[in-house]
Structure 1
Amino acid sequence: MADRWSADQVRALAPDAASVRAGDKLATPTPWRATGATPVVLWGHCAGSGTKPYQTIVDLRGPAYKCSCPSRKFPCKHALGLLLLWSQGEVPDSDAPPEDAAAWLAGRTARAEQTSDTPAAPKDPERAAKTAAARVDRVRGGIDELQLWLTDQVGLGLAGSEVDSYRTFDAVAARLVDAQAPGLAARVRRLPALISGYSGDAVDWPEHLLEEYGRIWSLCTAHQRIDTLPDGLARTVRRHVGYPVAKADVLAAPGVSDAWLVLGRREIEEDHLQSRRTWVWGFSTRRFGMILDYAPTGGILPNRPVVDYSLTTAMHFYPGTPELRCVYDDATQSDTPPPPTADLVNTLPAGDIADARRRRAGVIADDPWALTCPVVISGRLGRTADNTPTIIDDAGAALPLPDIADRWALLLAATGGASVRLFGELGMHGLDAISVITDERVISL
C-alpha cells in the first residue's frame, strides 16, 4: 500500500483558507460512511444537510476529485476532509474500488487516451509549412524592432528609465506579443521589477537593467542566426523566444520511465496569468524535471501531485537543452508503488555551495538565457552582517536566501537550528528556497 500523505500535504491542495477550515471539520469518522482506499483511489459518503449523502472520490495519481456536492471549489471541503481522514489512518485499505469509483477512473483514463496519445497530422502540410515560415518572418521583424529599441536605450543612457517604467516597457512587450514572440515579451515585462527592487537591490538597478538588456540582445542575435545554430541550441532559442510546442507532440515522443518524487512547487501570477512550477526528481535516472502549468487569473490550474508524493510514470521532456520542462500522461501512470520516500531522497545530489554553482555554470553553458537552476544544498541557516538570511555550508561559504522573509519562521521551525538540506532554484541573487529535505521526507516552504 502506498504511503499516506501528511495533513500538511493535504491542506496544501486547498483553494483557500476557508476550505482548509471546512475540511478540518470533516476530518472525523462521524459524518463518513462506506470509506475505502487503494493505492490509486480514495472514496467515501459524507452526510450533509439533506437526506442523501455526498459521494466523494479522489484519484490520488492526479490528484483529481469528484463530489456530488454543489461546490465549485476544487478540491471541495468533502474531498479535503476525506483526504485528511485518510492521512490519519481512519480510512480502511481495500483491494478494489466500488463500481462508481471504478467507472469514474475508467472514464478519466479513456478521455486521457483520446486526447494525448499522438499528435494530429496537419490537414495541409504545405499550408502548415507556409504558416510556420510566416511566423518566423513575423518574429524576426519584431526582434528587429526590439534591437533598435535596445540600441536607443543604451545609446541615450539609462537615466530616466525609472520614470513610468511599467507603461514604457509594457508598450514594447505588447509589440512583441503582436510579433508572436511571447517569451521575449515576458522578459521585457519583468524589467520594471529590476528598477523597483522587487528582484534585487533597487540601488543597483542600472547595473541589473544593463545586464538584462545584454541577455535580451544576445537572445535576439541568436534568433537572427537560428538557421546556423546546432539543433539543441536552436530549440533552446525557440523556447525562450516563445515558439509553441504542442503537448500532444511532446507526449508522442519517447518518455523517461522512473519513480518521480515531487520536490517542490512555486506559483506566481503575472500579466493576468498564473503559473505553477512543479519540480520532480527521478529515482533511477538521477535527473530533475519541471512540470509547468498555466491558467488565467481566477482559473483553475491542472491537478498535480503534492510535495513529498511520488509516482511511477513516464515523463516526456520538451525540446531544448538542458531538458528540464516535462509532462506526463495520467493514463500511463503505473499502479506499481514507487520506492519509499526515504530511498528517493537519499539519491538527491546534495552538495555545498561550490557544487551548486558549478551545476548552475553547466546549465548556463547549455542555456545562456536560463534564469535559475534546480539544486540541493547542505548547510546551516544564518544571517550576514547586514542581517540577510543565508545558508552557510561546511566550507564557510554563504549564499543569500532572497524573498524568504515570509517563510523564514517556517524554515527555522522545520530545521531547529540543525544542519539542513534545501532544495530550490539558484539564480543570480541567491537561492530561492522551495523545500526542506530530511532523511525521510520533503517539507514544502
Structure 2
Amino acid sequence: MTEQGVRWTADQVLALAPDDASRRAGGKLGVAGPWSGTGCGGRGAVWGLCRGSGRTPYRTVVDTTGPAYACSCPSRKFPCKHALGLLLLWAGGGVPDTEAGAPDWAEKWLAGRRERAEGARAEADTGPADPEAARRRSERRAARITAGAQELERRLADLLRGGLASAETAGYGLWEETAARMVDAQAPGLASRVRELGAIPGSGAGWPVRLLEECALTHLLDRAWLSTDRLPGPLAATVRSRVGLSAPPEGPVVRDGWLVLAQYDSADGRLTTRRVWLHGRTSGRTALLLSFGAAGRAPELALPVGSVLDAALRPYEGGGGLRAELVERFGLSPSTAPPSGTSLADALAAYGRVLKEDPWLDTWPVTLSGVVPARADHGWQLADAGGAEPPEPVPPSAGGRADERGAVPLTRGAQGRSGLWRLVALSGGGPITVFGEIGHQGFTPLAAWAPEAPEETVPLV
C-alpha cells in the first residue's frame, strides 16, 4: 500500500505493453538487479535508474495516475521496457515509499505534466481564440468533404454498373487511390470505409454479398452527408462523426470510478488506434476512449485492465454516446466486480435499437452473463447456459443473430485469438460473465470473469 493507493498486479502492468517483445523485455527488468535510486511517493509517481549497456543509467519515471511514462532511453515505444520493468518491480513491492519526494530530474518531468494539464483545462474553459476563423475553417473542410462524397458516389456507381465481379479482377490499387482522394478531401471516415471495401473482394465465400452490403452502407453515408442540413440534430452529429468531421466533446462532465474493461489496438499501416472500454461504477455508463499513434508507434494512453480509474469524462455527440474525452484523472484503485450482465436476446435487441440512430455502427458493447463457450459445426459460439440442453448450432447464414435457444457465434477474428482458449479454460464448461462487442458478424469477447473470482478481470485481447 502506498499514498497513491494499492499497487497494481503484474498482469495489469504487462497489459500496458505495446507488444509481445516489450512484454518479454520488461519482464526481464522487473527485478532489483539493474535498478538503483528507486522510489515512489505521493501523486502517483514511481522512479528509478536502470543500468543499461552504456556508462550512464537510464532515468525512468512513471506517473501512475495517468499512467504516463518518461525514460531517457532511445526507445519509441510507450511504455518502454524500462518503464514496464520499473512498474513490475513496484507491483512486487520492490520499490520503497520515499517521503523526501522524487529526485530533481523526475520532479521536473512531473511538474511539466501538471502544468500542461492545467493549461489544457484553461484552454478548454476559454474556448477557441478566434471563433470566426474556426467557423471559416470548418466551412472550407465541409466543402472538401462534400466534393469527396460526390466523387465516391461516382466510384460506387461505376462499380455497380460494371458488375461486382469486376472488383475482384481490378485489384486493390483503385480502392487505395480512391481512399487517398478521401484523405485529400479531409474525410478520414470515408477513406477508412473505402479501404474496407477494397479488402472484401476475394476475402472468402460470400464476398459479393458482403461487398454489396458495405457499398450500400457507404452510399447511405454519402447521401446522408449531402443532406445533413435536413437531418435531425443527433443523426446529423452521427453523420459528421462517421465521415471524420470530429467535433469537440460538448456533453456534461461525468466523474466516476471507471472500471477498465478492455484495451486493444488496431492498425491500418498509417495509424494505430487504441480503444479503451470503461464502465462507470456509479453512473452505469459505458464509455470508449480513443488514442492514436503514428505508424510504428503505440498510442500513449494505456490503462491497466481490471483497475478502477477515478476520472472525469466528457462525452462526444453521436456514435450512441459512447466515445468520451478523458478530462482529468485522479487516481487508480483495485478492480471490482464486473458490470451487471444481460442475456443474449436483450443484448441483440439493444444493438438493434441503437442501429436506428446509427446505421453504420458495426458493434455495440455488452456484458453477457450466464453464457458458456461451446463448439459448433461452424466454429465457436457463446451459448445461453439457462437451458438444460446445449443449444443447437447457429448456421453460418445466421450471421450474428441468436437462435431460439440463445447462442451467438464468435466473429472470425475472435476464433483465431489466443484469448479464445483463455475464455474456454476460464469457463471449464460452466457459465461465466463476458464483456465484448456484439454486431452483425457475431460477438468478439474482450474480457471475462469467473463466478469464483468476480473481482478478477481476465483480458482476452
Residue type at the aligned position of 1:424? G
Look up the match of 1:398: 407
* 1:41 and 1:97 in contact (8 A); partners too: no
For the residues of structure 2 that align with 1:341 and 1:122, how far apart are their CA atoms? 38
The answer to whether the aligner puts 1:426 opposite 2:438 as a matched pair is yes
Question: What are the equivalent positions in structure 2 for 1:238-387 lying under 5 Å apart?
Answer: 238-245=240-247, 249-250=248-249, 254-329=252-327, 332-335=328-331, 338=333, 340-343=334-337, 345=338, 348-378=339-369, 379-386=371-378
TM-score (norm 2): 0.85
Q: Cα distance, 1:35 vs. partner?
A: 3.5
For the residues of structure 1 that align with 2:269 and 2:197, how far apart are their CA atoms? 13
Q: Deviations 1:166-185 (Å, cap 9, x if unpaired)?
A: 12222222232232222112
DSSP-derived class of the 1:206 partner: helix
* 2:385 and 2:431 in contact (8 A); partners too: no
Look up the match of 2:145: 139
Question: What are the equivalent positions in structure 2 for 1:174-189 lying under 5 Å apart?
Answer: 174-189=180-195
Residue type at the aligned position of 1:11? L
Look up the match of 1:152: 158
Look up the match of 1:217: 219
Q: Judge which range, 42-51 or 376-385, deviates more.
A: 42-51
Residue type at the aligned position of 2:116? R
Q: Deviations 1:277-334 (Å, cap 9, x if unpaired)?
A: 11111111111111112222112412321211221111111222411111213xx322
Determine which of 229, 232, 255 is the counterpart of 2:231: 229
Look up the match of 1:21: 24
For the residues of structure 2 that align with 1:442 and 1:342, how far apart are their CA atoms? 9
The answer to whether the aligner puts 1:170 opposite 2:176 as a matched pair is yes
Residue type at the aligned position of 2:335? T
For the residues of structure 2 that align with 1:72 and 1:267, how far apart are their CA atoms? 16
- How many matched pairs? 429
Q: Cα distance, 1:31 vs. partner?
A: 4.1
Look up the match of 2:397: none
Q: Quickly say closer, same or farther: Cα 1:244–1:32, change in 2 above 3 A.
A: same
Q: Quickly say closer, same or farther: Cα 1:174–1:35, change in 2 above 3 A.
A: closer
* 2:364 and 2:439 in contact (8 A); partners too: yes
For the residues of structure 2 that align with 1:256 and 1:243, how far apart are their CA atoms? 24
Residue type at the aligned position of 1:398? A
Q: Deviations 1:124-178 (Å, cap 9, x if unpaired)?
A: 5545434333332332222223223323333443222211331222222223223
Residue type at the aligned position of 2:241? R
Question: What are the equivalent positions in structure 2 for 1:63-78 lying under 5 Å apart?
Answer: 63-69=67-73, 71-78=75-82
* 1:232 and 1:321 in contact (8 A); partners too: no
Q: Quickly say closer, same or farther: Cα 1:16–1:216, change in 2 above 3 A.
A: closer
Residue type at the aligned position of 1:58? V
* 1:56 and 1:79 in contact (8 A); partners too: yes
Q: Cα distance, 1:264 vs. partner?
A: 0.7
* 2:342 and 2:367 in contact (8 A); partners too: yes
Q: Quickly say closer, same or farther: Cα 1:117–1:162, change in 2 above 3 A.
A: farther
DSSP-derived class of the 2:240 partner: helix
DSSP-derived class of the 2:149 partner: helix
Q: Quickly say closer, same or farther: Cα 1:98–1:135, change in 2 above 3 A.
A: closer
Q: Quickly say closer, same or farther: Cα 1:9–1:122, change in 2 above 3 A.
A: closer
For the residues of structure 2 that align with 1:69 and 1:352, how far apart are their CA atoms? 49
Q: Cα distance, 1:259 vs. partner?
A: 0.8
Q: Deviations 1:248-274 (Å, cap 9, x if unpaired)?
A: x43x76411111111111211114221
Q: Deviations 1:7-62 (Å, cap 9, x if unpaired)?
A: 22222333444433333233223444443334722223445567765443211122
Q: Cα distance, 1:70 vs. partner?
A: 5.2
For the residues of structure 2 that align with 1:7 and 1:40, how far apart are their CA atoms? 17
For the residues of structure 2 that align with 1:254 and 1:441, how far apart are their CA atoms? 31
Residue type at the aligned position of 1:111? R
DSSP-derived class of the 1:244 partner: coil
For the residues of structure 2 that align with 1:132 and 1:364, how far apart are their CA atoms? 28
For the residues of structure 1 that align with 2:281 and 2:142, how far apart are their CA atoms? 39
Runs of 5+ in structure 1 lacking a partner? Answer: none
For the residues of structure 2 that align with 1:70 and 1:212, how far apart are their CA atoms? 43
TM-score (norm 1): 0.87
* 2:362 and 2:440 in contact (8 A); partners too: yes
Q: Cα distance, 1:96 vs. partner?
A: 7.0
* 1:143 and 1:220 in contact (8 A); partners too: yes
Runs of 5+ in structure 2 lacking a partner? Answer: 387-404
What is the CA RMSD across the aligned residues, in angstroms? 2.6
Look up the match of 1:411: 423
For the residues of structure 2 that align with 1:30 and 1:123, how far apart are their CA atoms? 52
DSSP-derived class of the 2:172 partner: helix
Residue type at the aligned position of 1:381? P
Residue type at the aligned position of 2:372? R
Q: Judge which range, 214-223 or 167-176, deviates more.
A: 167-176
Q: Deviations 1:345-374 (Å, cap 9, x if unpaired)?
A: 2xx131221121012112212211111111
For the residues of structure 2 that align with 1:71 and 1:187, how far apart are their CA atoms? 33
Residue type at the aligned position of 2:180? A
DSSP-derived class of the 2:65 partner: coil
Q: Quickly say closer, same or farther: Cα 1:420–1:94, change in 2 above 3 A.
A: farther
Look up the match of 2:393: none
Residue type at the aligned position of 2:259? L
Q: Quickly say closer, same or farther: Cα 1:272–1:374, change in 2 above 3 A.
A: same
